[in-house]
Amino acid sequence: MPAARVEYIAPWWVVWLHSVPHLGLRLQPVDSTFRPRDESYQESLLFLGLVAAICLGLNLIFLAAYLVCACCCRQNDAVQTKRRNSCCVTWTAVVAGLICCAAVGVGFYGNSETNDGVYQLIYSLDNANSTFSGIDELVSGTTQRMKVDLEQHLARLSEIFAARGDYLQTLKFIQQMAGSILVQMAGVPAWREVTMQLTELADQTGYVEYYRWLSYLLLFVLDLVICLLTCLGLAKRSRMLCCGMLALLLSWTSLAADAAAAVGTSDFCVAPDTFILNITEGQVPAEVTRYYLYCSQSGSSPFQQALTVFQRSLTSMQIQVAGLLQFAVPLFPTAEKDLLGIQLLLNSSESSLHQLTAMLDCRGLHKDYLDALAGICYDGLEGLLFLGLFSLLAALAFSTMICIAPRAWKHFATRDRDYDDIDDDDPFNPQARRIAAHNPSRGQLRSFCSYSSGLGSQTSLQPPAQTISNAPVSEYMNQAVLFGGNPRYENVPLIGRGSPPPTYSPSMRATYLSVADGQLRHYGSEFPA
């Protein structure tokens, strides 16, 4: 056991997760030993999922209370406050979007790590299955040769050597050695049931892992899409809330599954040898299981005696067969064929003995055991922790997006009211531009039409009729001087207003008023009204 502890050391996250309290549905303590078929242990893992469901309920209650308070409270309509709220909403949405993207990145890494660990487990199970199957084939092949093939040759040689008692005694000794080999082969455990269970476990693990990996991949894509739609369409109200609530529900659901799987895996990884000893009890001798689990170099193999007897028996049989070939064949030429057949059979059995010795050695199977533990307890469990972190970050991001929705709605509504206060005929009104773009049949405002356009001759643009404007000549000249001294025909709404449009800057307004006052004094006597 000490040698095994040196080779496999449970990581800190295994010890931390194993220390999580195990409680039943009635809040009674449950033993944390890994027992997947025990109902009380299953309830303790289910309780972790219920804790995540309770957290989801608290999250929804908080969001509902916040939304009610945000919708009922009225904000100050001051310009500075509106600007501050708009900036706060924008930056909060940006931060929430970045958190969501970071969560998806963490989730991709955790999903990949978990997938690598599970497939390393499956690969180790397949290697162990191959070793166990090879042991069974070698044992069954040796048994077949000793029981059937050797008995046939010995029966024919007994008829040939019927007149020679010494040769019959040699044949009887060979038969006894073959019986000893059969006894030793019967002591080697049959791994057929174990290989069937490992094959079923590997197939089920691969099937579940494929759909788990695919489900998380779809969840990542869905979270990214919902995050993008939410950030780009905060003003869509109900759609955004439905998508955000769906993503929030999926995040807490994935967290519940991750928590139960992580705690259950950590319970196995704390003492994996104990669990394997319990499940193999009655199928494989305990000393054989310990031999492969711990593979102590100081300990002896439980198969050492059987392999030694096998080797000695084969050596004795080969010596006896070689003597018969040397002394009996000259007297009984018909016995040569059967003696050569026995010799080939013994040589084949010796080759099987060497292969069986290598396969029964603990180093190969122990390495597969350690690889399986590294896959599930290191990479796999670490990936589950990252997936849990993804779920928490995603829940935080979507909760933040839902919280800023009321402020975003009020901001957009206030901006629309500000656009409504501006004259619809004002060409500088963005809302008027949108209306004109959606209503092309409405009359287009002609502004700043000049006789002296730089894109064509003066005759290419015809001035509008004089009846459009009754503005004084002084105002006309004022505007002519203002726009570079060229006569220009302006729209009616821009003449006679006494001030520039509301979208002009203060410097433009000051320039306009100074030029207008100066020109009125200069041309007031020349062009009386």
Write the pLDDT tens digit of every residue in 344-373: 999 999 999 999 999 999 999 999 999 999
- Reply yes or no on whether the pLDDT at 130 is more than 90: yes
User: Residue 261's closest CA among 292, 215, 225?
Assistant: 215
State the average pLDDT over residues 291-296.
88
Helix (H, G, I), strand (E, B) or coil at 445: coil
SS3 content of the chain, % helix, strand, coil (to 5): 75, 0, 25
Query: What values do phi and psi take at 28, rounded to 5?
Result: -90, 145
User: Has residue 5 been placed in a domain?
Assistant: no
Residue 5 amino acid letter: R
Distance CA 206, CA 122 (A): 7
Dihedral sign for Cα atoms in the order 174, 176, 178, 181: negative
- Reply yes or no on whether the pLDDT at 517 is more than 80: no
Distance CA 384, CA 100 (A): 18
User: Has residue 390 been placed in a domain?
Assistant: yes
State the average pLDDT over residues 183-206.
90
356: which 2 tokens? 């069986």
- Reply yes or no on whether the pLDDT at 15 is more than 80: yes
Q: What is the pLDDT of residue 502?
A: 53
Residues 6+ apart with CB under 8 A from 61: none
Q: What is the pLDDT of residue 64?
A: 85
Q: What is the pLDDT of residue 45?
A: 92
95: which 2 tokens? 């931060």
Q: What is the pLDDT of residue 85?
A: 55
Q: Please write the tens of the pLDDT for every residue from 406-457.
A: 665 555 545 444 444 444 454 545 544 444 544 554 444 444 333 333 444 4
Element (H, E) at 40: helix 39-72
The DSSP code sequence of 308-346 is HHHHHHHHHHHHHHHHHHHHTTTT-GGGHHHHHHHHHHH
Question: How many secondary structure helices (H) and strands (E) does the chain include?
Answer: 18, 2
Domain count within the chain? 1
Counting residues of the chain whose pLDDT is more than 90, the rounded percentage is 45
Q: What is the pLDDT of residue 178?
A: 92
Note down the domain range covering 303: 41-71+92-407
Range list of H helices, 459-505: 473-482
Burial of 349 (0-12, 13-18, 19+ CB in 10 A): buried
- Reply yes or no on whether the pLDDT at 169 is more than 70: yes
Q: How confident is the model at residue 493 (pLDDT cuts 50, 70, 90)?
A: very low
State the average pLDDT over residues 310-317.
93
Least confident range from 78-92, 168-182, 364-378: namely 78-92
State the average pLDDT over residues 169-197.
91
- Reply yes or no on whether the pLDDT at 14 is more than 60: yes
Distance CA 154, CA 334 (A): 13
Distance CA 22, CA 74 (A): 47
User: Has residue 507 been placed in a domain?
Assistant: no
Q: What is the pLDDT of residue 155?
A: 92
Distance CA 350, CA 346 (A): 6
| pLDDT, greater one: 80 or 380 | 380
User: Residue 443's closest CA among 425, 466, 467, 431?
Assistant: 425
User: Has residue 528 been placed in a domain?
Assistant: no
Residues 6+ apart with CB under 8 A from 169: none
User: Has residue 512 been placed in a domain?
Assistant: no
State the average pLDDT over residues 224-244.
70
User: Has residue 510 been placed in a domain?
Assistant: no
CA 83 to chain centre: 41
Residues 6+ apart with CB under 8 A from 314: 177, 181, 346, 349, 350, 353
User: Has residue 433 been placed in a domain?
Assistant: no
Q: How confident is the model at residue 81 (pLDDT cuts 50, 70, 90)?
A: very low
Range list of H helices, 233-335: 238-270, 272-279, 286-294, 304-327
| pLDDT, greater one: 487 or 308 | 308
User: Has residue 320 been placed in a domain?
Assistant: yes
Counting residues of the chain whose pLDDT is more than 70, the rounded percentage is 69
- Cα dist from 183 to 37, 51, 94, 307, 369, whole Å: 37, 58, 76, 11, 30
State the average pLDDT over residues 292-302.
82
